[in-house]
């Protein structure tokens, strides 16, 4: 187990963003009977607004409270946003319950609407896993041909083996999988990098957006995933850390909202006020100035 050493500015950023006051959602619902199988919803004013399903981070063990300010922010940007809870490791979840819940979320909550599935950090891992469910063996309970319309992974954990090797967040990957034996037995079925290896695409339009100055997740997690995902689009924000991506009003958060809008236009239902958007070439890495 190894603790990561971060700069004073990165530590201040984490404290600032994670200390934001939670925002109560105007709507709540359930997608199952377990107490954690619930969701919060922030509908945009326009009933035809694009739908975003947002998976929270926290290394698979913390709840969604810290992401409520960002979900409310996205709704103010005109994006109807759903923030679900799910069973988490260290409590009622981990393998397989966390994956059971996330699969159920994306299979039921969109209700047939086009949507962008977005996730931050470990939520990004879960979003990328959802995009790869079509690559699972047909006998897997999570295999499906009904995939997200598109996926935006924000500073995601993409490689569980590397997450375990680096001991990130006090061995969070081992805790997710239960123990060493569980990790070795089941990791391949829930690891985005492994599922993509030798295949090269999930067929789901996917963007990986991260900060160049991220000190929470090793940058190799992003580059190694991009190396095996041949039609991935990567957006790199210079001078940007891990947490400002979800800080309402920050330049990085505005870039996230703009990216969600572009993805909704390109891959979902057209929005009357959206206009057109330029689409980068497949596989292109975009570096914002």
Give the model confidence (pLDDT) of 59-90 as tens digits.
999 999 999 999 999 999 999 999 999 999 99
pLDDT, tens only, 15-45: 999 999 999 999 999 999 999 999 999 999 9
Round to whole Å and give the CA distance between 161 and 183: 9
Distance from C-alpha of 10 to C-alpha of 124, rounded to nearest angstrom: 20
Taking the CB of residue 15, how many other CB atoms lie within 10 A of it? 10
Which of 74, 84, 230, 213 has its CA nearest to residue 155?
Answer: 213
The pLDDT value given to residue 3: 55
CATH number at residue 208: 3.40.50.1820
* Residue 63 forms part of a structural domain: yes
* Per-residue model confidence as pLDDT tens digits over 101-126: 999 999 999 999 999 999 999 999 99
For residue 97, the enclosing domain spans 8-287
pLDDT digits (tens, 9 = 90+) for 187-224: 999 999 999 999 999 999 999 999 999 999 999 999 99
Residue 54 has pLDDT above 80, yes or no: yes
Cut 0.75: pTM above it: yes
Does residue 176 sit within a domain?
yes
User: Cis ω on the peptide bond leading into residue 180 (within 30° of 0)?
Assistant: no
- Residue 5 binned pLDDT confidence (cut-offs 50, 70, 90): confident
Position 274 scores a pLDDT of 33
Rounded CA gap, 173 and 156, in Å?
13
- Segment 127-155, tens digit of pLDDT: 999 999 999 999 999 999 999 999 999 99
Asked if residue 252 belongs to a domain, the reply is: yes
What secondary structure, in 3-state letters, does the chain show? CCCCCCCHHHHHHHHHHHCCCCCCCCEEEECCCCCCCEEEEECCCCCCCCEEEEECCCCCCCCCHHHHHHHHHHHHCCCEEEEECCCCCCCCCCCCHHHHHHHHHHHHCCCCCCEEEEEECHHHHHHHHHHCHHHCCCCCCCCCCCCCCEEEEECCCCCHHHHHHCCHHHHHHHHHHCCHHHHHHHHHHCCHHHHHCCCCCCCCCEEEEEECCCCCCCCHHHHHHHHHCCCCEEEEECCCCCCHHHCCCCHHHHHHHHHHHHHHHHHCCCCCCCCCCCCCCCCCEEECC
Q: In the prediction, which pLDDT does 287 show?
A: 61
Residue 1: inside a domain, yes or no?
no
Whether 277 is covered by a domain: the verdict is: yes
Q: Is 3 among the domain residues?
A: no
d(CA 38, CA 35): 7
User: How many domains would you assign to the chain?
Assistant: 1
Q: Is residue 183 part of a domain?
A: yes
Alpha-carbon distances of 81 from 28, 44, 51, 97, 228, rounded to whole Å: 12, 8, 6, 24, 30
Please report whether residue 201 resides in a domain: yes
């Amino acid at each position: 187990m190894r603790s990561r050493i971060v700069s004073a500015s990165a530590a201040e950023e984490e404290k600032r963003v994670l200390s934001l006051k939670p925002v109560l959602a105007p709507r709540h619902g359930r997608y199952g009977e377990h107490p954690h199988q619930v969701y919060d919803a922030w509908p945009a004013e326009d009933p035809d607004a694009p739908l975003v399903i947002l998976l929270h981070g926290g290394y698979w063990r913390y709840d969604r409270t810290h992401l409520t300010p960002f979900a409310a922010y996205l709704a103010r940007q005109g994006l109807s946003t759903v923030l679900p809870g799910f069973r988490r490791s260290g409590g009622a979840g981990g393998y397989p319950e966390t994956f059971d819940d996330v699969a159920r979320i994306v299979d039921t909550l969109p209700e047939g609407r086009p949507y962008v599935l977005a996730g931050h950090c470990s939520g990004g891992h879960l979003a990328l896993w959802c995009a790869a469910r079509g690559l699972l063996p047909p006998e897997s309970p999570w295999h499906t041909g009904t995939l997200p319309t598109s996926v935006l992974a924000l500073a995601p954990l993409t490689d569980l083996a590397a997450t375990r090797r680096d001991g990130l967040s006090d061995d969070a990957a081992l805790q997710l999988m239960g123990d060493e034996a569980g990790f070795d037995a089941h990791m391949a079925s829930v690891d985005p990098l492994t599922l993509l290896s030798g295949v090269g695409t999930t067929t789901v339009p996917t963007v990986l957006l991260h900060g160049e100055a991220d000190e929470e997740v090793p940058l190799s997690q992003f580059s190694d995933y991009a190396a095996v995902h041949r039609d991935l689009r990567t957006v790199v924000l210079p001078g940007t850390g891990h947490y400002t991506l979800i800080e309402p009003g920050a330049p990085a958060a505005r870039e996230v909202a703009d990216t969600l809008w572009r993805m909704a236009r390109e891959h979902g239902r057209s929005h009357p006020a959206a206009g057109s958007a330029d689409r980068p070439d497949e596989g292109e890495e975009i570096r914002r100035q």
